Amino acid sequence: MSQEELRLHLQQILASTRLTTLLQPVLDLFDGRVMGYEALSRGPSDSPLHAPQALLGVAEYHGLLPALEWACVRTAFKTFARLNLPGQLFVNLSPHSLLDAAFAPDAMLAALDEAGMAGHQVVIEITENAAALDYADMRQAVSLLRAAGIEVAMDDLGEGFSSLRLWSELKPAFVKIDKHFISGIHLDPHKIQFVRSIRMLAEGAYSCVIAEGVESQSELAVLKDLGIRFAQGYLIGRPSPVPVRLPSSEVQACLQSGTVSVFPVPQARDGLRISAGRLLVPAPSVPPQTISEDVLELMMQRPELHAVAVVDQQGVPVGILHRPALLDRFLTLYGRELHGRKPCSELMDPDPLIVDKATHMTELSELVVKKGKEAFTQGFVITDEGRYLGLGSGFDLMREVTEMQIAAARYANPLTGLPGNVPIQEHMERLLANDQIFVTAYFDLNHFKPYNDVYGFRRGDDIIQRLARILRESCNLELDFIGHIGGDDFVVLFQSLDWMERCQGMLDRFDRECLALFNPEHVEAGGYRSEDRRGAMAFHALVSLSVGAVLVDPAHFHEYQEVARAASEAKQIAKRADGSSLFIDQRRMPFGRRLATEEQLVEEAIT
């Protein structure tokens, strides 16, 4: 269909209100109830405008977006009221429609009253999809809605270039994190850190976080452990004309489970070698004499640009034009007439932060802090030996520094890539804080020093790496945390119910696979001669594996140090036995909700 035919078709849809409202539940992860629903509009099923992208795209192209969104809102009100659904109704509005007179609080309240609803039942979800936003007008519109009892939410945080400023300006009651940051969060340490940071920002701004796009139990479990209050997605409920009122049994089981998620740990990186060039975003520049109206036009054509650098004939940056500041000038009364023909050098910031591409990330962070919050929100200019290269943003700097921090020394063992002492302690403390019963298993190699003396450190590393692989392949990585304390010492924090069988399987597999790492004559003799710790020659048995396991009950263990001490003692007892062995400390057995195999363990110990 041509654009004209699509326009006529859309007008017919609006005239006959042939719109359908689908509703998707928003779940409260703290108490397991559905706290509200997001309204999602669709065109007629037999229409080329059935899909929301097509419907909204045609409406925006022909200047009919406010009319379409008003029809969608009214239909959503009626559908929600007819179904008598609990909680609040989230309806989407573009910034353009939010400022339209048709959406004034009186009109909204009249439409709600007609549907039999009240203002407190509705949340206006602002979709940040505009390149230029009039923040002052939006603040006023939101303030009037709030005075009428209607709250607002900000949609798709992290997707738009100005979403952080929009959050700061509007102070919404709810902030929705874009589904990109939720998809696969249980496998991505950077997404976990991003969502954790957003939750902390939200707490300070008195906003509630809603995670969008939750599609798996693993994602839901991580969000619950991160303290995210609300979530929506296909796992919780698909958009439907008649949506679910209660979460499924699998969702309820996930929320009620005492299991603590195992967060992925980033691979260590040498942050000192990372420079400002990593943050470089190629961006056009303009000469000082360029008229300001042309710079504005450039920004309108390139909505991803947060700023434009002003560069002289030698390629040296002399200033910067920030998008918000320039738009503020032109959005004022007679702004275009006053500033449009002026050279951009009169409107630019003549003192931007300028850094060389070789500037180390730590030094760049210090420069941004010294420069003040403007350097963070407005970005900085990156050069190569004084000549302009491109721009960098404060957000990208924050992301990179965050990655450096969470991948710092002691977070991942360089030989095995397994988490080190800091994440081991953090995970154990999370288990204790959640009153979770778990098993701490301390793995240690026997006679490892003589093996290094006879075969060399490279072969010793081979045994350590083989043990790390056995641990990884034998554990349930969504339940069991594997850490490398250092040297030949490892720890596994088990939440798997069959932890004892897994430990025995690891011992058997280690003994079987490690035979290939000894010379045949040493295998036949059961060992080899090497210096002992006193320097005397002595016979040493082949390397074996000892495991000391402690059943950790929060009633008896309260601190990380207590668990570590008990596990170390259990490991020492295990090492007294010849060959590979498992010792289970049964002196303080858990009570109440027990691990599945503990009853059998007690019976075996008695008999």
Q: DSSP for 285-307?
A: EE-TTSBHHHHHHHHHH-TT-SE
Check which CATH number belongs to the domain holding 514 and give it: 3.30.70.270
How much is the pLDDT for 367? 86
Number of H helices, E strands in the chain: 23, 21
Q: How many domains does the chain have?
A: 3
Q: Please report whether residue 415 resides in a domain.
A: no
What is the rounded distance in angstroms from the CA atom of residue 198 to the CA atom of residue 228?
10
Taking CA 340 as the corner, what is the angle to CA 335 and CA 343, rounded to the nearest 5 degrees? 130
* Same domain, residue pair 476 and 543: yes
- Nearest CA to 209 out of 85, 377, 27, 40 is that of 27
CB atoms within 10 A of CB 516: 9
* Same domain, residue pair 189 and 43: yes
What DSSP string runs through 523-585?
A: HHHTEEEEE-TTS-EEEEEPPEEEEEEEEE-TTT--SHHHHHHHHHHHHHHHTTSSSSEEEEE
CB atoms within 10 A of CB 538: 13
* Same domain, residue pair 240 and 94: yes
What is the rounded distance in angstroms from the CA atom of residue 90 to the CA atom of residue 38?
4
* Same domain, residue pair 462 and 571: yes
- Nearest CA to 445 out of 400, 503, 510 is that of 510
Q: Please report whether residue 432 resides in a domain.
A: yes
Please say whether the beta carbons of 390 and 277 come within 8 A: no
Residue after which a domain boundary falls, among 358, 376, 403? 403
* Same domain, residue pair 395 and 436: no
How much is the pLDDT for 76? 97
Q: How far is CA 456 from the centre of its chain?
A: 43
What is the rounded distance in angstroms from the CA atom of residue 540 to the CA atom of residue 451?
9
What is the rounded distance in angstroms from the CA atom of residue 369 to the CA atom of residue 70?
45
Residue after which a domain boundary falls, among 403, 434, 459? 403
* Same domain, residue pair 170 and 278: no
Task: Tell whether the model's pLDDT for residue 448 goes beyond 70.
Answer: yes
What is the rounded distance in angstroms from the CA atom of residue 34 to the CA atom of residue 246?
7
Please say whether the beta carbons of 332 and 419 come within 8 A: no
Confidence of residue 303 (pLDDT cuts 50, 70, 90): confident
Task: Tell whether the model's pLDDT for residue 52 goes beyond 70.
Answer: yes
What is the rounded distance in angstroms from the CA atom of residue 61 to the CA atom of residue 6?
10
Range of the domain at 277: 271-403
What single DSSP character describes residue 34? E
Q: Please report whether residue 476 resides in a domain.
A: yes
* Same domain, residue pair 209 and 354: no
Q: Please report whether residue 408 resides in a domain.
A: no
Task: Tell whether the model's pLDDT for residue 602 goes beyond 50.
Answer: no
Q: Report the side by side order of strands in the sheet with 380-384.
A: 354-356, 380-384, 387-392
* Same domain, residue pair 442 and 545: yes
Q: Please report whether residue 63 resides in a domain.
A: yes
* Same domain, residue pair 379 and 503: no
Between 376 and 16, the higher pLDDT residue: 16
Please say whether the beta carbons of 582 and 545 come within 8 A: no
Confidence of residue 410 (pLDDT cuts 50, 70, 90): low
CB atoms within 10 A of CB 475: 23
Amino acid symbol at 22: L
Query: How far lies 544's CA from each of 125, 282, 324, 506, in Å?
Result: 61, 56, 66, 11
What single DSSP character describes residue 409? T
What single DSSP character describes residue 360? B
Percent of all residues in the chain with a pLDDT value above 90, rounded to a whole number: 65
What DSSP string runs through 112-158?
A: HHHHT--GGGEEEEE----SS--HHHHHHHHHHHHHTT-EEEEEEET
* Same domain, residue pair 241 and 288: no
What is the rounded distance in angstroms from the CA atom of residue 361 to the CA atom of residue 369?
12
Q: Please report whether residue 411 resides in a domain.
A: no
Confidence of residue 133 (pLDDT cuts 50, 70, 90): confident
User: To the nearest whole number, what is the mean pLDDT of the chain?
Assistant: 89
In the block, tokens 């940051």 appear at 181
Span 97-115, pLDDT tens digits: 899 888 999 999 999 999 9
Q: β-strand 537-541 against 387-392: which pairing, if any?
A: unpaired
Check which CATH number belongs to the domain holding 29 and give it: 3.20.20.450
E-assigned strands of 462-506? 481-486, 489-494
Span 229-241, pLDDT tens digits: 999 999 999 999 9
Q: Please report whether residue 358 resides in a domain.
A: yes
Percent of all residues in the chain with a pLDDT value above 70, rounded to a whole number: 92
* Same domain, residue pair 283 and 227: no
Task: Tell whether the model's pLDDT for residue 271 goes beyond 70.
Answer: no
Check which CATH number belongs to the domain holding 345 and give it: 3.10.580.10
Residue after which a domain boundary falls, among 203, 221, 256? 256
Please say whether the beta carbons of 212 and 179 come within 8 A: yes
How much is the pLDDT for 595? 44
Confidence of residue 158 (pLDDT cuts 50, 70, 90): low
* Same domain, residue pair 196 and 227: yes
Q: Please report whether residue 413 resides in a domain.
A: no
Angle between helices 163-170 and 135-147 (to 10 degrees): 40
